[in-house]
Amino acid sequence: MKYTNLPNTNLKVSKICLGTMTFGRQNTIEEAHDQMDLALDKGVNFFDTAEMYAVPFTMETQGLTEAYIGKWFAKNGNRDKVVLATKITGPGRGIFREIRDPLDFSAASLTDALHKSLKRLQTDYIDLYQLHWPERSVNIFGVRDYDHAPNAEWDDNLAEIVTRLEDFVKQGKIRHIGLSNETPYGVMRYMEAHRKGATKMVAVQNAYNLLQRRDEVGLTEVLQMENIGYLPYSPLAFGMLSGKYLYNRKPENARVTLFPNYSRYSGKLSFRATEKYAEIAKKFELSLPQLALAFVNSRSFVTSNIIGATTLAQLEENIGSINVTLSEEMLSEIEKVHQQIPNPAP
């Protein structure tokens, strides 16, 4: 395994991070524990979760992922071996409002979310506590273009949110804070608060893969210039970049087969681009997942690549991508496809 420091911290994290959102829906507690055992054995010391997981979200499964991780910590006594990241659910998306009311980043909501996560995770501190998505409306989760109308009356409270989080940092319940599904504007506003003395947001977790590279337009410049970590999720694009959905295949128990509304990466252009990337992988005798993950691993702005899997075989292959090096010729061919079909899945 390869390691790096999470920027602005003393935390050494593996370049591969274990994503856990399937724990509690597609994976049982036993399977989840087996995945964490394998990941740790392979040198992965960075785990990411969220209070709303498992995914797809239901109130029956909400919090199960954190609970599975907490039981694993309790069983093995190895909390100190893992850099643990979790997230508070963002406001404004109706299906999650049963988690708490109001669903916001108020002091009361942050207190409620954090303490419930700590209890489920059976720990007294979170290494990286993230805002799952912003309070304001942003073009994420399949929305390509920004629409300002929903933000016309947005209450700009970013500095206040940081102040509330700082209280938990001072109490030792959170070590560092970060963002998720955030834009260049949001990151720079938090940096504005930091320059006035507020605690720095040390990382941003956004979707990034061969089909979705739009963060390279703006955000990655900000992150590198401001020394902020980047934690890409969905590096295999809901499994599209495994190749298993090509040629009208619908594998049994695969995520998009089970949950067809997860269609972000299922458009015609995404299929066309995936076919071209599969041809490149075949030409250079790699599997498509190896090519897709190695590409993300190779980006200079990536701190740690958040992978996910539903089987141990998938997990082992995905972790193994850290040992795959893409040649300049491979990267050039990838770039040609990107120029032909740029960002087909926003």
Average pLDDT, the chain: 94
> How many C-alpha atoms does 139 have within 13 Å on its Cβ side?
13
Provide the percentage of residues in the chain whose pLDDT is more than 90: 83
Q: Could you give the strand order of the β-sheet that contains 126-131, starting from the edge strand earlier in sequence?
A: 229-230, 201-205, 174-180, 126-131, 83-88, 46-48, 16-19, 305-307
- Closest by alpha carbon to 27, among 9, 45, 54? 54
Given this model, what pLDDT does residue 154 score? 81
pLDDT band at 246 (very low <50, low <70, confident <90, very high): confident
> DSSP alpha helices (H): ranges in the chain?
29-41, 64-76, 107-121, 158-171, 184-195, 219-225, 255-258, 268-283, 288-298, 312-320, 328-340
pLDDT band at 87 (very low <50, low <70, confident <90, very high): very high
How far apart CA 23 and CA 7 sit, in angstroms, is 28
Task: Kindly name the residue from 3, 53, 233, 247 that is annotated as catalytic.
Answer: 53
Give the list of residues 6+ apart from residue 2 with CB closer than 8 angstroms, or none: 14, 15, 322
Please state which CATH number belongs to domain 3-238+299-324. Answer: 3.20.20.100
Active site residue 247: no
Establish whether the linkage from the previous residue to 251 is cis, with ω within 30° of 0: no
- Closest by alpha carbon to 243, among 231, 232, 256? 256
Residue found by looking up tokens 């694993």 in the block: 72
The answer to whether 83 and 127 have CB atoms below 8 angstroms apart is: yes
pLDDT band at 239 (very low <50, low <70, confident <90, very high): very high
**pLDDT above 90 for 254:** no
**Residues 264-302: tens digit of each pLDDT:** 888 999 999 999 999 999 999 999 999 999 999 999 999
pLDDT band at 255 (very low <50, low <70, confident <90, very high): low
Residue found by looking up tokens 């210039």 in the block: 225
> Helices 107-121 and 158-171: crossing angle, nearest 10°?
40
Kindly report the pTM of this predicted structure.
0.95
Given this model, what pLDDT does residue 79 score? 98
Give the list of residues 6+ apart from residue 144 with CB closer than 8 angstroms, or none: 346
The three-state secondary structure class of 338 is helix
pLDDT band at 93 (very low <50, low <70, confident <90, very high): low
Given this model, what pLDDT does residue 145 score? 85
Q: Which amino acid is at 285?
A: E
Given this model, what pLDDT does residue 190 score? 97
Average pLDDT over residues 41-63: 96
Q: What is the largest CA-CA distance in the chain?
A: 55
Paired sense of beta strands 229-230 and 83-88, if any: unpaired
All structural domains of the chain with their residue ranges = 3-238+299-324
**Residues 96-131: tens digit of each pLDDT:** 888 998 899 999 999 999 999 999 999 999 999 999
The answer to whether 244 and 319 have CB atoms below 8 angstroms apart is: no
pLDDT band at 346 (very low <50, low <70, confident <90, very high): confident
**Residues 309-338: tens digit of each pLDDT:** 999 999 999 999 999 999 999 999 999 999
**Residues 138-181: tens digit of each pLDDT:** 888 878 888 888 887 788 899 999 999 999 999 999 999 999 99
